[in-house]
Amino acid sequence: MKKSKKKVIIDEISFLVGIFIIAFGLIFFLKPHTLAPGGISGFAVVIDKLFNIPMDVTNIVVNIPLFLVGIRILGKKFTLRSFAGTLILSLFIRLIISVLGENIIMVDDVLLSALYGGVLLGTGLGLVFRSGGSTGGTDLAGAILNKYFPHISIPKLMMIFDFFIVISSGIVGGKLENSLYSLVSLYIIVKVADFIVEGLNYAKAFYIISDKSEEIGKNIVDNLGRGATILKGVGVYTGAEKNVIMCIVDTRQITKLKNIVNDIDSNAFVMVTTVHEVLGEGFKINN
């Protein structure tokens, strides 16, 4: 079943508003104090401080090779959507700076900047993820590297990228405190984004009944970097054997998994349930 026109419009508006909020938070809260809470946008803050190269330029230049590789490995649909997010983010950064300037410091206190910047970026990312979009960056890099290092999960690869970016903010800013404040901001970003996408729930279990279960399962592994299990079931009424795919995903992948199922088999029966505890590869959740 395809999205209604109203849902498409709402998703696109959420996508644009989310990216605008990210750009605003970067320019007026994080950049003035050299706070880099991970991601390519955080890397752009560091490069701007080191070489005075505008954030919008770094954002595009760093992401281009990721997208070129991503198209071959992850497919055109998700990669092009991510590339659109990157271009729009760079456009909004340039637009805001052109209209308001970039020397405006909203808050002098570094801790408050980390807190409010984290809330803004978390809200923006949450809206972007909820609309099924992405702004590229470390999640795309993690998905690509996971193809070559499948024993390392995508979240772990992203964590490695973000760790080095956070540390670099302290080195470039000349203060260890910058790295610590960046960690505070990163924590808030993750929590707020999770809340926007899925309230207080951190993971979902999908049970998918489809005649195209093998194709769906392959796409889950290839495009989400998640494992999936095919269970054998029997319809009580018809007595027919059916494959049931069981898969657990984090909040950022909920919309992506729904889209995968809908694109392959719009008649699939899908049940989604909240997971309160997940221990194992790619997860460590205790609610």
% of the chain beyond a pLDDT of 70 = 92
pLDDT in tens, 246-259: 999 987 788 889 99
Residue 287 reports pLDDT greater than 50: no
Residue at 190: amino acid letter: V
DSSP-derived secondary structure letter, 29: I
Q: Which two tokens stand for residue 201?
A: 């729930």
d(CA 283, CA 41): 25
Cβ(62)–Cβ(44) under 8 Å? yes
- pLDDT for the residue numbered 104: 80
Q: pLDDT band at residue 199, thresholds of 50, 70 and 90?
A: low
- pLDDT for the residue numbered 286: 44
**Arithmetic mean of pLDDT, 219-246:** 90
Q: What domains can you pick out in the chain, each with its CATH number?
A: 5-198 (no CATH), 203-286 (3.30.70.120)
- pLDDT for the residue numbered 123: 95
Q: Within 10 Å of residue 177's Cβ, how many Cβ atoms? A: 15
**Measured CA angle at 145 (ends 258, 263), to 5 deg:** 20
- pLDDT for the residue numbered 3: 66
CA quadruple 83, 125, 185, 32: dihedral, nearest 10: 60
Residue 207 reports pLDDT greater than 60: yes
pLDDT in tens, 140-157: 787 778 778 877 766 677
pLDDT in tens, 73-97: 777 776 787 888 999 999 999 999 9
What are 241's strand-pairing partners?
234
Residue 283 reports pLDDT greater than 50: yes
pLDDT in tens, 13-72: 999 999 999 999 999 999 999 999 988 999 999 999 999 999 999 999 999 988 888 888
- Helix ranges (H only) for 26-153 are 39-51, 55-74, 76-100, 110-130, 138-148
Q: pLDDT band at residue 134, thresholds of 50, 70 and 90?
A: confident
Alpha-carbon radius of gyration of the chain: 20
d(CA 72, CA 206): 27
First to last CA, the chain: 33
Q: pLDDT band at residue 284, thresholds of 50, 70 and 90?
A: low
